[in-house]
Structure 1
Amino acid sequence: MKKHLTNEKGMALLTVILMFTLFTAIGLMIFTSILNNMKQINKTEGNIQSTDIAEMGAIYFKTKINDTIALQNNAGAETINDYFTTINNQLNVIETKKPISKDDVYFEIKTIGDISKYSLPPTATIKLLPNNMTTYLNKDARIIGILLNSKGIKKNETRSLSIHLKYLYKLDTNGNYAIAHPGSITSPIKCGDPSQISGIQCLYTTPQSFEGDLQNIKDSTLYFEDDFNVSGTIVNVQGGKIHVEGDFVASEINNFQDITEDKVSVPSELEVEGDAQIGIINNTFNDFKLFVGGDLTVNQIGNSVRDSTFIVLGTATIKSGLENINGDCKLCAYNGVTGYVNDPTDKIYVPEDPDFNTQCSLYGGPTKYILQTTPDEMVEYH
């Protein structure tokens, strides 16, 4: 009987030991899991915080960059190469590292690394600045780009994001458009009629498309606050002024000449702030001026173009009749002429010509390059 009781006590003790061991193991597993979860939570929180710090850095550096560009735009530069050199010197003043607190919390600029993924053309000029920013000048796309990594650090946790800012460069046209806005005209007489417009000012606030020909514009101003599209020909313009704030398309412009008022000649003018596509230009006379703020594409320039000036701030593409720009005609193309081979005897001027500024500034050409203030932006987290 004693032996039986002893065996039962031994089994009970063994059961207690096994249960204790089991619960201890389970407890250790739970404790380890909680500890790991806490570590992961802390790591995740640290990662989130370092990401927030990197984003804070991105906002800070972009603000500094945009402020720098705004200041440089006030001064501008005579050439885009001069602008690129000057803006690089100014960007390099931006500090590389910015502390947030004393506890190893800060953001800083790091180099972008492999720049090949940005597919820049071989002709692009690339600069690595001492403060780790990378800049480039891409004349093919008329872009100055800025690349950097914003790295956020909170103690041992780090996160980076790359920033790619692309700024279009352009010529400052302030003061170069000669045709004044006609002001607040609610319902100008005959402005909706594309024929026989004489002695009036017309204001169009929405995009306009005219079917057929637009003809017989005499001593009048047509001002378009948006795009202007003519399916036919703009013909017989005497002392007429046409200004388009958007893009302009016409099959042909023909017979643009001056009008004499009180023994004073008033020439005809066509100004386009955007891009212009014209099928044929012919019969322009008497100090006619075409001013295009973007790119100009012309299928043909006729042989009856006389005493006319064409100013193009973008690229000029003349598919036929380029040889007709001679004598008392002149073409100033600030971003070059497609397919053009420089000839010192013609009247076609591009920035590479030694007398480009002298010849073109006489006709109201712009004097400085600036960057558009709103860039295209790409952000990638690492």
Structure 2
Amino acid sequence: MVVKNEQGYALITVLLIITIFTVVSLSYIGLASGSIKQNEVVEKKSQSVSIAEMGVTYYQTAIQGIFETILADRGLTPTSNFTPANITTIASQIETRFLSEFPKESEFPDTSAFNPIAGDFSTSPISITNLDFSTTPNVVEEKITINFKLKGTESGKDTVLEGEMGIDLNPLSPSFNSITPNCSSLPPGITHCEEVQNGGTPTSYNNMSNVKIISKGPLVFPNTSNNMTNIQILGSEVHFQSNVQMITNSTIESLGDMTVDGQLTGPNGGNPYINLDLFVGGNLYIDGKFELQSTKAQKVYVRDGVTVTNKMSIGSNYSVCIKGDLDVSNSLENFGNLYIQGNLRVPKSNAFTNTGVRYITGSVIYDDGTRANLNHTLPANSDTICGNTFDEPTIETVVDNVNYK
């Protein structure tokens, strides 16, 4: 009888299995370690990008602060008339003051008045280094261009950004933003949107409804535009060359001047309610009657003067806010809210009827030269009633483009 001893074979099998598992485990550990190191590198690079981007933001803040300080030092405001000499001097002073705080090839110092990083980071792995900075005045376009190059560093990893910022010395009033400047998302009920790229003559006709018309340029409506319903119109300027009457549930915003060569009112003998919100960033000129009657709360905001060559009537549901003078050639009736940051000019022979709320910061000037000085102070709730109509124009530093190196 032969007896086989298999214990040696079992031991060899166990040792082979242990060896295989050891080799596989070590491979996975090596891969995991490499992946962790790679992630650390990517994370550090990503953090350096964030630091550099933060530097761009604080460059913008610092430049804006320096610019406003220079204006104050020179007795200027955003609405000042900037001469070529002023523009050249301001550009030079921005560069000089910025570089005195933040010299080229140096890190943003903790002691700077415009220090973008709060606290003492002298031993920190985080830093922002100014590599280049210069300003260029453009006296023709009244602009200042700032070219910059900076480096963000975090734990030894660098990201370099260079780009351009601009200061447009033509001040901008805050936008009313009553209408979105695109056709991508239409408001409720609007079924058609027409975009007139550089201004021109859009489609217009009586009884037009559920239409949005937008343009970055001026819009001209040559036809009568009566009985429009659920209409939105936005342009750099808006000009109606005929009557605009009987508008319902509509909004018109002109970023600049708006002109109506006719009536803006309800038709004679018909329903006088026009239900219109009107926003004008410049002057409003109406060559005819201007009657504002509505079945619901409506508003007219104008950032410059208003001229009406005939009668003007403000219904009880309307708030009319004017940052400029109101000149009415015929009678003026106010049953709603009338806020004027300026003077009111009306004929003395036609009574100014007022049973609503009225604030006039200047005077009532009559056509015979006499005047009544009112000098009202706008009330605390004028922002609630008038939105940002009376906000002052601003000049801001704008980042035009940034390139990653």
- TM-score with structure 1 length normalisation? 0.46
Structure number with the higher strand fraction is 1
